[in-house]
Amino acid sequence: MKRKIKNNVSWIGYIDWELENFHGDEYSISNGSSQNAYLIEEEKTVLIDTIWDPHGEEFIENLKKEVDLSTIDYIIANHGEPDHSGALPLILKEIPDTPVYCTANGVKSLKGQYHEDWNFQVVKTGDTLDIGNGKELIFIEMRMLHWPDSMATYLTGDNILFSNDAFGQHYAVAELFNDKADPCLLEKEALKYYANILTPFSAFASKKIKEIVALDLPIDIIAPSHGVIWRDNPGQIIEKYAKWADDYQEDQITIVYDTMWGGTEKLAHRIAKEIGKLSPDTRVKIFNVVKKDKNEIMTEVFKSKAIAVGSPTVGNNVLSSVSGWLTFLKSLKFKKKKAAAFGCYGWSGESVKILQETLKDAGFEVTDSSLRINWDPEESDYEMAKEVAKELVS
């Protein structure tokens, strides 16, 4: 069932209350999500994006209840990732000649995934499409936000920016709009989304936000492809993105570790205690990498000015739980954050050096001091925790 957004613009997406993970198992979903597609019915009828294939049949059936598919004049494919393009093959089987507007990279992405030579119409930033009644669509390439093909589409007259993935959240809200959402959850999910998906592309985000602001387009609504539609002060999410994209950090230090027999866990807590003594206002958080959701930890890292990572030595290396997490950490390309390493060992004791090298390779400014403790720590071993804390808070 379509739901009115403004005038002749409707939401026709899918709210997925039961989704638990996304991007394979890379992104945990805690509060549901949605795939938002939109229908514009002016002199021309326009479909903006579709939804994910598992719900494709249902989507087409709903769409058919609202419009005769043969009356759709244009399809806008803002992004080729399957959560937005998944129902395109089903639709285009029924209306095969309908023009599909996308970027040049969008053609590559859609052809590569669906192996169909649809009626692609390549657009670039500033190109427009007249849809009648004095309204037009303006296309804005959003390269690397978060795929090379990503694009946004702006509707004049109604002043709606269909931003696709940008400004989205994996958050199910039945009422669709930001003013109907729980504000704490909305902030949390928008930040988790940025931290875990967009952080590596922050330089692109900064540049693009400046470009969008310079276009000086009135924006009454930002309609992303996931989560709430921003109609109450839509500029707030643009302002947040500008802040988050600018090497964002708070006065927070996050400690992440795994442990075999509890020694490395003791070090984690001791470092936290020393930070608390030195800088009582600094927010300190401690996570066992196995027990806490990796995306939630990464959101805390995003907010932090420094981190400490711990693992005992096992098999001349670090625990696989920690190395897997570090691989994810590196992929997010954090900048301007400090990091310290710590860990216990029985004999060879390579873990701390490996952690330091990996953190450096991941773009962190690694502290000179570390905590490398033979067997289980005792009071005299904790002296160095003070040095680690001092470097992290400074």
**Active-site residue list:** 23, 79, 81, 83, 146, 165, 193, 226
Report the nearest approach of ligand FEO to the CB of residue 146 (Å).
6
Report the nearest approach of ligand FEO to the CB of residue 264 (Å).
37
Asked whether 153 and 48 are in contact (CB, 8 A), the reply is yes
Q: Which residues of 44-56 are buried (b: 16+ CB within 10 A; e: fewer)?
A: bbbbbbbbbbebb
Residues of the shown chain interacting with ligand FEO in the complex, contacts defined by CB under 6 A: 79, 81, 83-84, 146-147, 165, 225-226
DSSP-assigned states of every residue in 194-212: IIIIIGGGHHHHHHHHHHH
Which among 305, 310, 318, 315 is positioned nearest to 340, based on CA atoms? 310
Query: Which residue lies nearer to ligand FEO by CB, 225 or 259?
Result: 225
Largest CA distance in the chain: 78
Query: Which residue lies nearer to ligand FEO by CB, 223 or 373?
Result: 223
Q: Return the sign of the alpha-carbon dihedral for residues 200, 123, 137, 9.
A: negative
Q: Which residue has the tokens 């039961």?
A: 18
Residue nearest to ligand FEO (CB): 81
Report the nearest approach of ligand FEO to the CB of residue 147 (Å).
6
Which among 171, 212, 174 is positioned nearest to 192, based on CA atoms? 171
Asked whether 103 and 151 are in contact (CB, 8 A), the reply is yes
Calpha distance 4→263 (Å, rounded): 58
Calpha distance 31→105 (Å, rounded): 32
Calpha distance 95→92 (Å, rounded): 5
Query: Which residue lies nearer to ligand FEO by CB, 164 or 299?
Result: 164
Report the nearest approach of ligand FEO to the CB of residue 142 (Å).
10
Report the nearest approach of ligand FEO to the CB of residue 47 (Å).
17
Query: Which residue lies nearer to ligand FEO by CB, 80 or 263?
Result: 80
Query: Which residue lies nearer to ligand FEO by CB, 33 or 264?
Result: 33
Alpha carbon separation from 324 to 289, 320, 321, 335 (Å, rounded): 10, 6, 5, 20
Calpha distance 226→33 (Å, rounded): 7
Would you give the end-to-end CA distance of the chain in angstroms? 55
Query: Which residue lies nearer to ligand FEO by CB, 8 or 50?
Result: 50
Which among 105, 99, 190 is positioned nearest to 142, based on CA atoms? 105
Query: Which residue lies nearer to ligand FEO by CB, 55 or 84?
Result: 84
Q: Where are the alpha helices (DSSP H) in the chain?
A: 56-66, 82-85, 88-94, 104-114, 183-193, 202-215, 235-244, 263-278, 294-303, 320-331, 351-361, 383-393
Report the nearest approach of ligand FEO to the CB of residue 15 (Å).
14
Report the nearest approach of ligand FEO to the CB of residue 165 (Å).
4
Report the phi/psi class of residue 360: left, alpha or beta, with left for phi > 0 and alpha for psi in -120 to 50: alpha
